[in-house]
Every structure is written in C-alpha cells, then in structure tokens.
Amino acid sequence: MKRLLVYLTDYKKECVIAPAFKMLEALFDLLVPLVMAAIINTGIPAGDTRFILSRCGVLVLLGVVGLTCSITAQYFAAVAAVGFSARVRRALFSHIQRLRAEQLDSVGPAALITRMTSDVTQVQNGVNMALRLLLRSPFIVLGSLVLAFTIDLRCALVFAVTVTVLFVIVFGIMALTIPGYRQVQSGLDAVTAKTRENLTGVRVVRAFHREEDERAAFRAKNDALNRAQRSVGHLSSLMNPLTYVVINLALIGVLWFGGLSIQSGTLRQGDVIALVNYLTQVLVELVKLANMIVLLTRSLASAGRIADVLALPVGEQAGDAAVEERGEAVRFDGVGIAYAGSCKESLSGVTFTARWVQTIGVIGGTGSGTSTLVSLIPRLYDATAGTVSVFGRPVADYDPRALRRAVGVVPQRAQLFSGTIRSNLCFGAEGEVSEDLLWAALETAQAAEFVRGKPLGLDEPVEQGGRNLSGGQRQRLTIARALVPQPPILILDDSASALDYATDARLRRALRELPGSPTVFIVSQRVSSLQHADLILVLDDGQVVGHGVHRELLQTCPVYR
C-alpha cells in the first residue's frame, strides 16, 4: 500500500478535511450521553420543563451539526478515493503498456484485467472507508472510555477490559483473514482467465462439442473460488457475534455495578444511562471498525497485487539510437531464446541473413518456433543467446519505439479496435495520413474493393475486435494498417490464412511491387505462399533444419518435402 500512497499526494487537502469533520461528528456524538444524563439527573427530578426542552434543543442542534459534518466528510472522502483510484488505474494502465512481452506472459491477461478492475475498486473502497472511519471509530472508543472514567471508576474498568478484548478479537481476525483474501483474489484471476478463454474460443468449443468439459473445468475453478470465499467469510463472520457477546457481557457488568453504585448513593440514574449509551456507542463503532477492517484487509491484499505489477521493471530503457537504413536488413547469429519459466529453448542456433528487398519465407509445424523467430526482430522478446541485428546493428542498441516504427508487424491473430476503418488504419502512423496513402495500403492489402462497398467507406464503423467483419476482411485490414507507415521491414505472421489462394497470390504480387521495396518476412503454413521467396527457412522443434529456395529444399530437406 505504501507504493500506492504517492497517488494520494494531489488530495492532501481532502485527506485532512474528511477525517477532521468525522472527528467533529464523533465529538458531538460523545456529548449526546452527557446531555441526556443532565436531563435525567437534573430536569426530570425537578420537573423543570424549560431545562428539559432547552437540552432537547441542544440534542437537535448536535444532530444537525453532526449530520452536516458527516456529509462534508463523506464528500471529501469520496473525492479523494475516486481521484486516487483514477490515478492508480491510469498509472497501472500506462505501466502495463511499457511491459515487455515476456512480462505480460508471466502475469497473464486475466490477472491484469482483475487488477485493473476488481483490485482497483477494492483499494478505492478501502481508501474511502479509511478516511471516514479509521480515526473516528478509535476516537469514539477511547473517548467513551475516558468519559466513563470521569463518571465511575468501577464501570470504567469494565469499559477498559471490554475494549482490550474487542481489539484482540478484531485484530486477531484481521491477521487471519488477510492471507485468505489474497487467495480469493488469485481465485478470481483463475475464474476470469477461464471465462476469457471460453469467450474467445467459443466457436472452437462448439465445433468440437466440448461444452460439458469446459463447464466442468469452469465449475472446478468457480468451486475453488467459492471455497476460498466461504473459508475467509466464515472467519470474518465471527467478528460480529464475538463483539456482540463481549459488549452484552460488558452491558450486564455496567448495569450490575451501576445498580450497586446507585444504591450506595455514589452514582445517579442519568450517569448509568450515559454509561449504557457510551457502551452502545462503543459497540456500534467497533462493529463499524470490524467491517472496515474486513474491507481494509481485502483492499490491502488488492493493493499488494497492484504494487506487484507496478514493481515489474519496464524493459524499454536500453538502446537510444535511431534506426538508420544501412547494411543488411536482418541478421541472426546463433540466436536462441528460452521463455521465462521454461527449461528448454524455443529456438536454438538460428543463423541466417536477410538482405535488402528480399522476401524471406518461414515455415514449420505448430510449435516449431516460427512466430517466436519473427517476434525477435522488433524485439518483442529478447534473445537469450546470440545476436539479432537490424541494418547492421544489434536490436538492443536501438530505441525500441524507433525500431518498431521501422518494422511493420501483422500478427497471427487479426486484431482491430473499436472505431472506424480510418482510425484502425492510422493506428500505427505518426501525424496526419493522407487518403491517397490509406487507399494505396488498402489496394496492396486487397481490401480496397470491400471498403469501397461499405456505405461510409473509410469512416465505416468497426466494432471491438472487428466483430462486424469477416475473418478475411479483418486480416486484410491489419495488413493495410502495417503498410500505412511504409516500414522498411514487413512481417506477415501467418496473416493470410483466412484468404483464398487467388487473393493470397494477388497480395504477394502487390507486396513485391511496393514502392521502397521493403524486406518482407512471410510466416505461413502454405508452401504455395512461400515457394517464390528468395530464402525459405524451415523450422522443426526450434531449429532451422533447412534453408534455401523452393527447388533446393524439395531436394535437400525431408521436413519441407
């Protein structure tokens, strides 16, 4: 939580005003039993109606002023909590954008979504409650204890024992529940991950008739979350009954000793009523404090999870050189990579050179490392062995932003954003982009025809993920988006799988005729898409088992053949 407190610095005024007004409200609450005691001890025995009415007016005034203080405190606490959560969420989102791909893989999208939503909301609620009750409840408890000592010593000792026992109960349960709430949030990560997996793969699940299996898998994770929540909930639920039992035993003690003191003449009836009121206030405030502690334990667990993500180092500092187009386009020298947590390299001993204007084909079975290979060029991942060079310089020497502007990547899974066709095409470009350039990119990507057929053309709306477009249309738009910045290196990572053979052939022909003649890497499972490439790399189990042109590989590479 300490790491997140920096985001409260802009709300210092609210963080002072909210507790201050809550303390004023608490002070007025502590005065109420004294006024009631005065009415019972002085006004009622004397039959002084004027005194009674005046003290009733004081009670009404205390209530109104207390309500005003409470509303003021609530307002400033809400401003601070909501503003704080907005800054945390903004910082978290910005930090996630700068994380390396391997870090995102290690944390997982589901866990990041939970931290951005549920965890931030938990922390916001914790800050809100802390500003309102963290000082008020202890102030009421201690104030009631002090005033009880001013009324009667024996009854005050009952108060002291009661408060001590209650604090042991509250903080003991808090210590037991904090690890449980961490486990609950981790279980929520697992449920979110399974839900996200089923939403994205719903068609595959239906196609293979695996609904029952997926329901069973989801049920298992949901039941685990349910058990964790019930376990920590059972512990938390002990707080209210235990505090009520202690308070009611204390109430019996106060009435017992108070009655004896009244009989001996050392205490008046109004004082006993005041003591009972103070004891009731202690009960109410400790119940509030108990509930606040439960909420704070959850928010502290969530704050720790958010801080864990913010503590991840951003791997963007290395390299500050701009990209200069000189020398060979891409060179791999003995390159290998092992993903975090893996004991085996996904790629090993990869060596090849891609020259200017060449088309490089990359082919291999599922899991052979084709996507991993091309992801090393824009430095989405760092090689753990060997050197990847672009334009004669290691990729680690380049400023990452400049490097990724020079390498256009069309990912394996076509991903579009909600907006328009124009906004999606301009996503990776800097500054204003002319319509001529957009249409030229669409023509090359074989997407101009269907875009012209849309009622609004370039301004046609695109739903999240491109759900209102077919698979082939999404792929062609993502190719066009990569072409708009006119990068000198273009990577197509199996990005034409949804295109028919004729469209695929026209696309490859158009890529060869691009102005500027970029170096093109094509990852594909279709031999027909690669057979005209200047160099074909054949991968099998993370190693290059063949390289050359189509005719040579048919003779020399059994895997390719």
Select the more confidently predicted residue: 321 or 430: 430
Q: Which amino acid is at 65?
A: V
Q: Per-residue confidence at 64, pLDDT binned at 50, 70, 90?
A: very high
pLDDT computed for residue 100 by the predictor: 80
Strand partners, 493: 523
pLDDT in tens, 396-407: 888 888 888 889
Residue 204's contacts (CB-CB under 8 Å, 6 or more residues apart) are: none
Query: Distance (Å, rounded) from C-alpha 241 to C-alpha 166?
Result: 11
Residue 237 has pLDDT above 90, yes or no: no
Residue 325 has pLDDT above 70, yes or no: no
Q: Which CATH number fits domain 2-310: 1.20.1560.10, 1.10.3720.10, 1.10.287.70, 3.40.50.300?
A: 1.20.1560.10
Residue 332 has pLDDT above 90, yes or no: yes
Residue 521 has pLDDT above 90, yes or no: yes
* 361, 553 Cβ separation under 8 angstroms: no
Burial class (CB in 10 A: 0-12, 13-18, 19+), 148: buried
Query: Distance (Å, rounded) from C-alpha 542 to C-alpha 164?
Result: 65
Our CA dihedral for 96, 492, 443, 356, rounded to 10 degrees, sits at: 110
Query: Among residues 308, 323, 336, 330, which one has the least CA distance to residue 103?
Result: 308
DSSP E strand stretches across 191-346: 330-337
pLDDT in tens, 139-192: 888 888 788 787 777 777 887 888 788 878 877 887 788 788 778 878 887 888
Query: Among residues 117, 125, 103, which one has the least CA distance to residue 311?
Result: 103
pLDDT computed for residue 373 by the predictor: 92
Residue 262 has pLDDT above 80, yes or no: no
Query: Distance (Å, rounded) from C-alpha 186 to C-alpha 118?
Result: 11
Query: Distance (Å, rounded) from C-alpha 155 to C-alpha 33?
Result: 15
Residue 318 has pLDDT above 60, yes or no: no
pLDDT computed for residue 89 by the predictor: 93
Q: Residue 560 corresponds to which tokens in the numbers above?
A: 């390719």
Residue 97 has pLDDT above 90, yes or no: no
**Could you identify the residue written with the tokens 């529940």?**
177
DSSP E strand stretches across 365-399: 385-390, 393-394
Phi, psi dihedral angles at 542 (to 5 degrees): 80, 5
Mean pLDDT, the chain, whole residue set: 85
Annotation: CATH topology of 330-556: Rossmann fold (3.40.50)
pLDDT computed for residue 389 by the predictor: 92
Q: Per-residue confidence at 223, pLDDT binned at 50, 70, 90?
A: very high
**197-211, 243-257, 258-272: which range is least confident on average?**
258-272
Q: Residue 416 corresponds to which tokens in the numbers above?
A: 């579009």
What's the sign of the alpha-carbon dihedral 161, 166, 168, 171? negative
DSSP E strand stretches across 175-329: none
Residue 83 has pLDDT above 80, yes or no: yes
Query: Distance (Å, rounded) from C-alpha 88 to C-alpha 94?
Result: 10
Q: Residue 529 corresponds to which tokens in the numbers above?
A: 């898409």
* 33, 56 Cβ separation under 8 angstroms: no
pLDDT in tens, 344-386: 888 999 999 998 888 999 998 888 888 899 999 998 888 888 9
**49 HSE (CA, 13 A, CB side):** 0
Q: Give this prediction's pTM.
A: 0.70
Domain boundaries, the chain: 2-310, 330-556
* 123, 4 Cβ separation under 8 angstroms: yes
Burial class (CB in 10 A: 0-12, 13-18, 19+), 385: middle
Residue 316 has pLDDT above 60, yes or no: no
Q: Per-residue confidence at 218, pLDDT binned at 50, 70, 90?
A: very high
pLDDT computed for residue 343 by the predictor: 72
pLDDT in tens, 433-443: 888 999 999 99
pLDDT computed for residue 263 by the predictor: 75
Query: Among residues 305, 311, 313, 308, which one has the least CA distance to residue 117?
Result: 305
* 87, 7 Cβ separation under 8 angstroms: yes
Do domains 2-310 and 330-556 share one topology? The answer is no
- Three-state DSSP class for 254? helix
Burial class (CB in 10 A: 0-12, 13-18, 19+), 234: exposed
**14-28, 60-74, 159-173, 531-545: which range is least confident on average?**
159-173
Q: What average pLDDT score do residues 533-553 get?
A: 91
Q: Quick one: how far is CA 128 from the chain centroid?
A: 20
Query: Distance (Å, rounded) from C-alpha 332 to C-alpha 490?
Result: 16
Instruction: Give the containing element (helix H, strand E) for 455.
Output: none
Select the more confidently predicted residue: 480 or 266: 480
Query: Distance (Å, rounded) from C-alpha 237 to C-alpha 249?
Result: 20
Q: Residue 415 corresponds to which tokens in the numbers above?
A: 């991903």
Q: What average pLDDT score do residues 511-540 get?
A: 87
Query: Distance (Å, rounded) from C-alpha 519 to C-alpha 533?
Result: 11
Query: Distance (Å, rounded) from C-alpha 437 to C-alpha 424?
Result: 14
* 310, 302 Cβ separation under 8 angstroms: no
* 306, 186 Cβ separation under 8 angstroms: no
Q: Residue 222 corresponds to which tokens in the numbers above?
A: 């949901």
Q: What average pLDDT score do residues 532-541 get?
A: 91
Query: Distance (Å, rounded) from C-alpha 413 to C-alpha 388?
Result: 24
**Could you identify the residue written with the tokens 């052979």?**
368
β-strands 385-390, 393-394 pairing: antiparallel
Question: Per residue in 515-532, is it b (16+ CB within 10 Å) or e — as a string?
Answer: eeebbbbbbbebeebbeb
Q: Find the radius of gyration of the CA atoms of the chain.
A: 35
Residue 331 has pLDDT above 70, yes or no: yes
Residue 269's contacts (CB-CB under 8 Å, 6 or more residues apart) are: 40, 41, 262
